[in-house]
Amino acid sequence: MGDRRPYQVTVSDSSGDKQLPILDGTLGPSAINIQRLYADHDLLAFDPGFRSTASCRSAITFIDGEQGILLYRGYPIEELAEHSNFLEVSYLLMFGELPTSAEAQKFENDVRHHTLLHEQILKFYQGFRRDAHPMAIMVGVVGALSAFYNDDIDQMDRVRREEAAVRLIAKMPTIAAASYAYSVGRPIRYPRNDHSYAANFLQMLFGLPSADYVVDPVLAKAIDLIFLLHADHEQNASTSTVRLAASSGANPIACIASGIASLWGPAHGGANEAVIRMLTEIGTVENIPKAIARAKDKEDPFRLMGFGHRVYKNVDPRARVIQKAAKDVLEHLGIDDPLLDIAIQLEQIALKDEYFVERKLYPNVDFYSGILLRAMGFPTNMFTAVFALARTVGWVSHWLELTQDNHGIGRPRQLYVGHPRRPYPSS
Ligand code: ACO
């Protein structure tokens, strides 16, 4: 490291030079430690949008955006996608190591044990309009769940903390499926603990009391893969929201509700829904050049949804895995989705276009995930809810990490640009 970077940097202003130490991680860029910048030098760091800010130390997930690399606890996402499943990866993210088969079995049983919702929680659904977006229902119901588990979450007690985390992972499919069932007027289905995590979600979402629902194992595997690929992504907007909320010591379930709210936006998890709307609007391959021109027009707010990423300046490695899974599932189901053709063509044209090349805008995970979910029968407004379900694992893993390395409440400062002090106008 010493050859590559100085151990400290010098910042100069009118009052002279200040030395700031540099911190090295195991991978990725080093960080200037500015923690004492204000206390020692009466200066603040200005970084709106946090483009150059490392908000914490974390050992969970690593992204090399230039190379298009994503590691969970050191393991490449492609290898986990090939050899592991969502619950094993959840264990890995939460506890740092892949489980042995006995640990995996115990973890799965623990999750199964908590899949039911308190009956009174089901009454909350009745308060929503039938046409409410499932994400709106999820924010509300998960927030409400914090009232049911408040006093028994002792954040100082490791066992209680882990129990709270497992409870959330277990209940999220039940909450998400019920949000959809309510919004379309179907009866809410109970979880089936004789099913795998993924198969149980599918039966709650698509099953009806009037007929048996047989889970297609190919679809169960595909949704498990989607969960796995979305499980964590270091300090993104929703994870940072959860960490900031949790830094005050708030109820972790309420913190997850804040993460769901943050995820909902089209610049973040809501992009998978926006991609399908965009592809539908484009309608035919012939209309692609018009869409590309609009995306490049600075006067037009239209952006190519599913393209670009704050960290990846290369192909998002999850996008490649999902693209292949989407093709396989469409083939398995015998579906010929014109939106897939439009997506593939759009990607190819954009990747050759100077505007996208110059700005390093590549497809992200959301570009193909919507096509896969649509083929599996998921309604568009459930896409982000699926993302929230999966990302709950990342959120709780970061919450567990934060409880052991909390630097106190997260409290950014600001560069004030308003009026200087002035007297109240006399009448
Ligand atoms: N279409 C057209 N132009 C784009 C796009 C896009 N999708 N994304 C970025 N650009 C352009 C910007 O206009 C800007 O151009 P300029 O330098 O000429 O002003 C340049 O590329 C850099 O863009 P920023 O907005 O500064 O990039 P930022 O890191 O802030 O945003 C984001 C990243 C929000 C993901 C953005 O690329 C975007 O809006 N993409 C579409 C939405 C999307 O797919 N979101 C999902 C992200 S992945 C996830 O959350 C799971």
Residue 2: predicted pLDDT: 41
Among this protein's residues, is 114 annotated catalytic?
Answer: no
Angle separating helix axes 197-206 and 86-95, nearest 10 degrees? 120
The pair of three-digit structure tokens given for residue 220, joined into one six-digit string: 């169960």
Q: Give the predicted TM-score (pTM) of the model.
A: 0.93
Residue 6: predicted pLDDT: 61
Q: How far away, in angstroms, is 62 Cα from ligand 1 center? A: 21
Residue of 227, 240, 300, 307 to test ligand 1 pocket, by largest number of atoms within 8 Å of CB: 307
Cβ atoms of residues 238 and 395 within 8 Å: yes
Residue 59 has pLDDT above 50, yes or no: yes
Q: How far away, in angstroms, is 13 Cα from ligand 1 center? A: 34
Distance CA 365, CA 321 (A): 9
Q: How far away, in angstroms, is 279 Cα from ligand 1 center? A: 17
The secondary element (H helix, E strand) that includes residue 61 is strand 61-64
Distance CA 113, CA 200 (A): 13
Cβ atoms of residues 313 and 360 within 8 Å: yes
Q: How far is CA 383 from the centre of its chain?
A: 12
Residue of 282, 312, 355, 359 to test ligand 1 pocket, by largest number of atoms within 8 Å of CB: 359
Give the pLDDT confidence of 136-164 residue by residue, as tens digits. Answer: 999 999 999 999 987 777 788 899 999 99
State which amino acid sits at residue 346: L
Cβ atoms of residues 389 and 176 within 8 Å: yes
Cβ atoms of residues 25 and 363 within 8 Å: no
Cβ of 319 closer than 6 Å to ligand 1, yes or no, is no
Cβ atoms of residues 367 and 347 within 8 Å: yes
If you compute the radius of gyration of the chain from its CA atoms, what whole number of angstroms results?
A: 23
Residue 18: predicted pLDDT: 82
The pair of three-digit structure tokens given for residue 121, joined into one six-digit string: 């929680």
Cβ of 5 closer than 6 Å to ligand 1, yes or no, is no
Q: Tell me which residue of 253, 229, 250, 274 sits closest to 82, measured CA to CA.
A: 229
Closest ligand 1 atom to residue 316 Cα is 48
Distances (CA, A) of 398 to 92, 219, 376, 401, 424: 12, 29, 30, 5, 46
Cβ atoms of residues 316 and 369 within 8 Å: no
Cβ atoms of residues 237 and 51 within 8 Å: no
**pLDDT, mean of residues 325-350:** 92
Share of the chain above pLDDT 70, in %: 99
Of residues 211 and 101, more confidence is placed in 101
Q: Which of 268, 309, 316, 398 is catalytic?
A: 309
Cβ of 275 closer than 6 Å to ligand 1, yes or no, is no
Give the pLDDT confidence of 345-360 residue by residue, as tens digits. Answer: 999 999 999 999 999 9
The pair of three-digit structure tokens given for residue 140, joined into one six-digit string: 């509300």
Residue 135 has pLDDT above 90, yes or no: yes
**pLDDT, mean of residues 64-85:** 97
Distance CA 294, CA 305 (A): 12
Residue 346: predicted pLDDT: 94
Residue 15: predicted pLDDT: 79
Cβ of 310 closer than 6 Å to ligand 1, yes or no, is yes
Q: Which of 232, 316, 353, 366 is catalytic?
A: 366
Distance CA 317, CA 7 (A): 33
Residue of 288, 310, 322, 349 to test ligand 1 pocket, by largest number of atoms within 8 Å of CB: 310
Residue 407: predicted pLDDT: 77
Q: Is 31 in a helix, a strand, or coil?
A: strand
Cβ of 366 closer than 6 Å to ligand 1, yes or no, is yes
379 Cβ contact list (under 8 Å, min separation 6): 180, 184
Largest CA distance in the chain: 78
Phi and psi torsions of 100, nearest 5° = -70, 170
Cβ atoms of residues 342 and 282 within 8 Å: yes
Residue 1: predicted pLDDT: 41
Q: Tell me which residue of 38, 36, 8, 37 sits closest to 23, measured CA to CA.
A: 8
| Ligand 1, atom 16, residue with closest C-alpha | 359
Residue 8: predicted pLDDT: 80
Cβ atoms of residues 370 and 383 within 8 Å: yes
Cβ atoms of residues 276 and 384 within 8 Å: no
Residue 4: predicted pLDDT: 53
Among this protein's residues, is 366 annotated catalytic?
Answer: yes
Phi and psi torsions of 74, nearest 5° = 95, -15
Q: How far away, in angstroms, is 308 Cα from ligand 1 center? A: 5
Residue 3 has pLDDT above 60, yes or no: no
**pLDDT, mean of residues 20-25:** 93
